[in-house]
Amino acid sequence: MEGKIPVKRNRFVTLKGADKSVNRELETKARTLAGWKAYITNIDGPTPEFVIGAYHQLWRIEKSFRMSKGDLAARPIYHRTEDSIRAHLAIVMAALAVTRVVEERTGWSIKKFVTTTRRYRTIEIRVGDQIITAADPLPDDLADVLSAIRGAH
């Protein structure tokens, strides 16, 4: 396709049979509202800062759920008992909490952290009575990030 997006996926293009046309009204509306966001609340007399802050908090919560589905690979599991449903949710929420701590202490996204650390492992090999430890050396940026996770309390 040489980098071209199919016409049917463009919201500004109207398809009627084989005819294609640009929806200029929608284009103008989108251009006019670019950068503007409407906030709706049922709270009497809220300050703009409060409403915007609440929506930012909502955005962070939604981001957490998107992350739990994607980066943490937490998918819905069809459990039959309440105990297994609760256990699944507890594990996902614990992983989310650990993820938040890692992101906060390192400044890295969890996706970057997982993909970077995935290839580094330490193995122990027993040869007779002796144990030999083998590991790939960590790059400096990864060593700094791991120190930040361990060092901050």
Per-domain residue ranges for the chain? 1-36, 122-151
Strands 122-127 and 19-22 turn out to be unpaired
Please say if the pLDDT value at position 49 is more than 60: yes
pLDDT band at 4 (very low <50, low <70, confident <90, very high): low
Please say if the pLDDT value at position 61 is more than 80: no
Q: What is the mean pLDDT of residues 2-19?
A: 68
Please say if the pLDDT value at position 59 is more than 70: yes
Q: What is the mean pLDDT of residues 7-33?
A: 75
Q: What is the share, in percent, of the chain residues with pLDDT greater than 70?
A: 78
Mean of the per-residue pLDDT values for the chain? 79
Please say if the pLDDT value at position 15 is more than 80: no
Q: What is the pLDDT of residues 99-145, one digit of tens each?
A: 888 988 999 988 899 889 888 888 899 999 999 998 888 899 999 99
* Exposure string for 48-63, b = 16+ CB within 10 A, e = fewer: eeeeeeeeeeeeeeee
pLDDT of residue 34: 66
Is-contact 152 103, C-beta < 8 A? no
